[in-house]
Amino acid sequence: MSSTDTEVSEDRAIYDPVVFTPTSYLRERPEAQPPPDFEGYKSTRLRHPKQPLVYMPQTITEITGPQLGDVRAGGEFDSDLTRQHDGEPIGERIIVFGVVRDTEGKPLRNTLVEIWQANAAGRYLHKWDRWPAPLDPNFSGAGRCVTDDRGRYSFTTIKPGPYPWGNHYNAWRPAHIHFSLLGRAFTQRLVTQMYFPGDPFFPYDPIFNSVRDRRARQRMICELDIHATRPNWAHAYRWDVYLRGPAATPFEQAH
């Protein structure tokens, strides 16, 4: 998603994320999205561009895709990370589900949703993740799905564990799942992280706190949904995602 997609015209009504009724005409608060260079998160100094953006004209390809239509994301178990191997992974089974919405709260169908995460011990299946936590041979930590006609997505997975990451002394990341979503155009890609309620590492994590608006940070935290729990199998968390507008889910800036 481009930076211009986070701005909403002042003559367009903003909708309450719960009841979808017009509430104001204000733009999104600047502190609701993380800055490209955040003092507490060291690697942002190395990753973000130092020169001003050069805006290029958008062609029909950038503003009209992707058109996923009836194409499915892939294999039968792409959205069930607990069934991708011969055995069952270790950890708490959870269901993560929700609705992908646009600025006005309308569901977005045929939206590609991808996730990746650490295992229950807080380790990624990645060659550069070398901290001494066990790998799970039955858990790869990646999945994808396409939203249905009502904008709904759902994953069955394992709750990830926290892990150290070397940003500062005794630095630990809260448990989280990475999300990537495509909106109505190739320029509308959102990459973000979903967190779990009540995590004790929230006050110490500069990535979570790079979103300076407290209300915006709450939009990154899922909610336990006891009614969606599968009895004797998995508990469930709901997390709705807004791709644009003042209720937008905070995402990693592209600049």
Length of the chain: 255
Per the model's pLDDT, the better-predicted residue between 36 and 136 turns out to be: 136
The whole-model pTM stands at: 0.78
Please identify every residue annotated as catalytic: 124, 163, 173, 176, 178
Per the model's pLDDT, the better-predicted residue between 116 and 105 turns out to be: 116
Percent pLDDT > 90 in the chain is: 55
Asked if 37 and 132 count as a contact pair (C-beta separation under 8 A), the reply is no
Domain ranges for the chain, please list them: 3-242
Summarised one tens digit per residue, pLDDT across range 202-254 is: 999 999 999 989 999 999 999 999 999 999 999 999 999 988 777 888 887 65
Per-residue model confidence (pLDDT) at position 42: 65
Residue 152 neighbours by CB distance under 10 Å: 16
Is pLDDT of 142 > 80?
A: yes
Domain spanning 3-242 has what CATH number?
2.60.130.10
Q: What are phi and psi of 198, to 5 degrees?
A: 75, 20
Is pLDDT of 87 > 70?
A: yes
At residue 12 the predicted structure's pLDDT band, cuts being 50, 70 and 90, is very low
CA 220 from centre of chain? 8
Q: What are phi and psi of 129, to 5 degrees?
A: -90, 100
CA atoms within 13 A on the CB side of 238: 11
Summarised one tens digit per residue, pLDDT across range 26-80 is: 456 666 667 777 777 767 666 677 777 677 676 665 565 555 555 555 577 999 9
Instruction: Read off the pLDDT of each residue in 153-163 and give the average, rounded to a whole number.
Output: 98
- How much is the mean pLDDT over the chain? 81
